[in-house]
Structure 1
């Protein structure tokens, strides 16, 4: 093979790859029936009049992917008309109480469902501070667990199992994890959240994508790895702009960082959530700090809000009768 022909081949392959990457990057959301229901827009405080963190991604108003299930989220799960039978996967960002406290309620509720197929539960590997996902579930529902009477949902003696899938957590060499669930592509990346292993999640289908930041200060900017061209970016706003709280900033990103991510990734719409008292009453300042970087659509979530993935617009509330 002569060198001229080889160079032409290399250029052709490079062009094909570039076109493919560009097409992927510019994918158009072709499914108008996907939406996100905010089950909980609050954090760990018990004075914010909000449920703790939780979301469902629906298709044709059927719950498909559950992302976190903090305190109070189970009530809004019911209000949204969600059914355990319809879920394709449960995604846990991390094991802080305000993100998983209602998970035992989900398992108990499964006893009264008609589900007959196993349900995968994705969550992070553990460390010295928290157990890995399989051990966490065993401590809750194993034969010697806190809710041992529900152990059949782990050992297979009930109609189906909650099957743990551990997502690797390595902040030194962060890699994007990928999986498939019921026609959806799931992607996760390790994100910095103090000493707690935590994940950011991206869900894709039909050219549509929604990214959930989870709790993170985004040191190392690992969240950027999965944010590219997201149709909807659900970002947690638990720290105000200008905060001098060094501990809080290791756990949560300020609004300017949310704006930087959204602008750099070409996010089409952003929804802020996971408010705390320190961010609840400074929304104009938050919007200004985000807007200094990002000029796209920005919304502040309330419990039960429903957002179209395709348009980014709020389309209703699960609290409406």
Structure 2
């Protein structure tokens, strides 16, 4: 009951790098925008909401990537409307990327939304549930918020249904999903230690915006996904030289620089900025500049960023 309606996506398939690269002149940059709903991590001392991003087309919010704590408040501040969302994409299901989903679902009850909500995220592994299981555990009949079960098991009260899709964790395999004529999605597994995780590329009105999510780049798969993206959102959770568990879970700035050189984004947006990387922007940029000489933006909550021509 949690599979997506067939006409809303193309089944997962292995794509060539060439098929992912969009011609930059096709990007309708004046129609597309990225807004940062949450630029922080799981801390309560960084004065930031946790990870979340909103992609709009013609001033209508269409795609949300992650829904970390505080993102629902900034969604309201942005002026976006839940009924306009085509899909919510999860890079992974850590609390700082998913905690506000119940708030969005409950709030949708008070809107005129009638179309099903697509939710995409990674399949499960020995540590994390799949995205479909996550939806069941939250909203199913035995879930934490079982009083909202009509969103997954429709009845006479149901205005719409959550349609959840698991993205396979097969290494180096790109999953392709077509939402409509304006928007298509690609995802690829990435390494975030033991956590099931994927990176995303959103192609919208000829523009492409790619998200690393939290990753170590151990798989070295993101470059295949994000080549020539108009915007890349990379997570800058640790400073150069960090070690231990943090370095096994996250990219160092030098890794981000190598990725940016490989993918050649029009703009590189650094987000998921935690206390250990805040205040180190000069050093972080210097490391990235060893590899990439393009536009670098250190993200703050509610920043609005438009694609730039290559």
TM > 0.5 fold call: yes
User: Contact 1:132/1:166 (CA < 8 Å) preserved in 2?
Assistant: yes
User: Contact 1:234/1:272 (CA < 8 Å) preserved in 2?
Assistant: yes
2:273 aligned residue: 275
- CA shift, 1:220, in A, is 1.8
2:40 aligned residue: 42
- CA shift, 1:264, in A, is 1.3
Seen in structure 2, the aligned counterparts of structure 1 residues 46 and 249 have a Cα distance that, compared at 3 Å, is: same
* C-alpha distance in structure 2 between counterparts of 1:310 and 1:159, whole Å: 38
Seen in structure 2, the aligned counterparts of structure 1 residues 118 and 292 have a Cα distance that, compared at 3 Å, is: same
1:135 paired to 2:133: yes
Seen in structure 2, the aligned counterparts of structure 1 residues 57 and 23 have a Cα distance that, compared at 3 Å, is: closer
* C-alpha distance in structure 1 between counterparts of 2:281 and 2:196, whole Å: 29
Seen in structure 2, the aligned counterparts of structure 1 residues 23 and 166 have a Cα distance that, compared at 3 Å, is: closer
Q: Map of 1:127-166 to 2, 5 A cutoff?
A: 127-157=125-155, 158-166=158-166
2:12 aligned residue: none
User: Contact 1:40/1:52 (CA < 8 Å) preserved in 2?
Assistant: yes
Larger radius of gyration: 1
Q: Map of 1:1-80 to 2, 5 A cutoff?
A: 21=18, 24=21, 26-28=23-25, 29-80=27-78
User: Contact 1:32/1:310 (CA < 8 Å) preserved in 2?
Assistant: no
- CA shift, 1:116, in A, is 0.6
- CA shift, 1:214, in A, is 0.3
Seen in structure 2, the aligned counterparts of structure 1 residues 25 and 56 have a Cα distance that, compared at 3 Å, is: closer
- Count residues in correspondence: 290
Seen in structure 2, the aligned counterparts of structure 1 residues 185 and 74 have a Cα distance that, compared at 3 Å, is: same
User: Contact 1:34/1:310 (CA < 8 Å) preserved in 2?
Assistant: no
1:266 aligned residue: 264
Q: Which runs of 5+ in 2 are unaligned?
A: 1-17
Q: Map of 1:67-216 to 2, 5 A cutoff?
A: 67-157=65-155, 158-171=158-171, 174-182=172-180, 183-216=182-215
Q: CA RMSD in A?
A: 1.7
* C-alpha distance in structure 2 between counterparts of 1:133 and 1:205, whole Å: 23
* C-alpha distance in structure 2 between counterparts of 1:22 and 1:53, whole Å: 29
Q: Which has the higher contact order (CA 8 A, sep 6+)?
A: 2
User: Contact 2:201/2:210 (CA < 8 Å) preserved in 1?
Assistant: yes
- CA shift, 1:104, in A, is 0.4
User: Contact 2:24/2:309 (CA < 8 Å) preserved in 1?
Assistant: no
- CA shift, 1:22, in A, is 9.9
Q: Which runs of 5+ in 1 are unaligned?
A: 1-20, 313-321
- CA shift, 1:281, in A, is 1.1
- CA shift, 1:42, in A, is 0.2
- CA shift, 1:23, in A, is 11
User: Contact 2:236/2:272 (CA < 8 Å) preserved in 1?
Assistant: yes
User: Contact 2:62/2:86 (CA < 8 Å) preserved in 1?
Assistant: yes
TM-score by length of 2: 0.90
TM-score by length of 1: 0.87
* C-alpha distance in structure 2 between counterparts of 1:82 and 1:25, whole Å: 27
- CA shift, 1:30, in A, is 2.8
* C-alpha distance in structure 2 between counterparts of 1:22 and 1:40, whole Å: 31
2:232 aligned residue: 233
User: Contact 2:31/2:57 (CA < 8 Å) preserved in 1?
Assistant: yes
